[in-house]
Structure 1
Amino acid sequence: MTASPLRHLRLLAWLAALWIAWELLHYEQYKLTGNPGSVHLFTVLTDWLGFHGHEKVMRIGVGIMEMVAAVLVLIPRTQGLGGLLAMGVMSGAIFFHVVSPLGIDPYGDGGVLFREACVTWAAGLLVAVLRRDQLLALFHRVTGRGVAVPA
């Protein structure tokens, strides 16, 4: 007896969700404790954006959004929403690594943060696509409009 393709897709969604949660929560220890590397990174960003002296607000705000995404992606009914939120947060990280003075490799480690942001973004996309039925149902509930589900 072989497993159904649907079962494989569910497993794939959960593996991607576990990656997202682990990755996002792992870095909270640096953001939320004021690790010097994290403080430096967010200081570069806030100074570049013209928000001098607001590093902590941005660092903690991003940390909170990451924690929310990590929790949502682990709850079966909200997994799709968590995937979208993870994509949103990682889109910001990728954007700032590419266009700001941070650069792709701010720590001189070969761009580990940038690569992990890209993988986490892709995992969020995978979860959102595999859980699109949840997202379409949420859209319907929020807007009161029906949405045709693509085959």
Structure 2
Amino acid sequence: MPPLTKPELIASWICRVIAALILLQTLFFKFTAAPESVYIFTKVGLEPWGRIGSGVVELIAAVLILWPGLSWLGAGLALGVISGALMSHLTVLGVVVMNDGGLLFTLAVIVEVCAAIVLWIHRHALPVIGARL
């Protein structure tokens, strides 16, 4: 695995911190059953288990994305859970939810982009499935 260049390392840390902060900030609303979160998960038919389950996955993703050596795994989890959120916005919820001006959608896009960048930068750390078969 080649070492990261200084620009790659800086970009990685910036994207990792941004994605983790957004993921961690939204956990408060999910775990306290804030009206916005309950509305969203009711609308997509996943309240309360989808809200709690996605919150747990986001917590794990936020921790792993900051963990050196496992940031690729955190980025992959973040991409998965946020892809589901974006699809929900685009198919059921709409970009604007409860007059938020599109804030939740925008934050999801930022996490998606940051996680994709982290995964790309750390692509050499990805385990090769079946390499020893």
Letter in structure 2 aligned against 1:14: W
The counterpart of 1:123, out of the listed 96, 114, 117, is 114
Q: Give the Cα separation in 2 of the matches to 1:99 and 1:30.
A: 22
What secondary structure is seen at the aligned counterpart in 2 of 1:76? coil
Q: How does 1:36-75 map to 2 (within 5 A)?
A: 36-46=35-45, 54-75=46-67
Question: Residue deviations 1:11-67, cap 9 Å, x none?
Answer: 110110001110000000000011111111111111xxxxxxx50111000000100
Q: Give the Cα separation in 1 of the matches to 2:33 and 2:111.
A: 23
Bigger-Rg structure (1/2): 1
What secondary structure is seen at the aligned counterpart in 1 of 2:26? helix
Q: Looking at both structures, which has the greater relative contact order when contacts are Cα pairs under 8 Å and sequence separation is at least 6?
A: 2
Letter in structure 2 aligned against 1:80: W
- Structure 1 unaligned regions, length at least 5: 47-53, 147-151
Query: Which residue in the other structure is 1:50 paired with?
Result: none
Greater than 6 Å deviation, 4+ residue runs: none
Once the two structures are aligned, what percentage of the paired residues are identical?
35
Cα RMSD (Å): 1.3
Structure 2 residue 34 is the aligned partner of structure 1 residue 16:
no
Deviation (angstroms), 1:107: 2.0
| TM-score calculated relative to the size of structure 1 | 0.81
Q: Give the Cα separation in 2 of the matches to 1:123 and 1:98.
A: 20
The counterpart of 1:133, out of the listed 114, 124, 128, is 124
Query: Which residue in the other structure is 1:79 paired with?
Result: 71
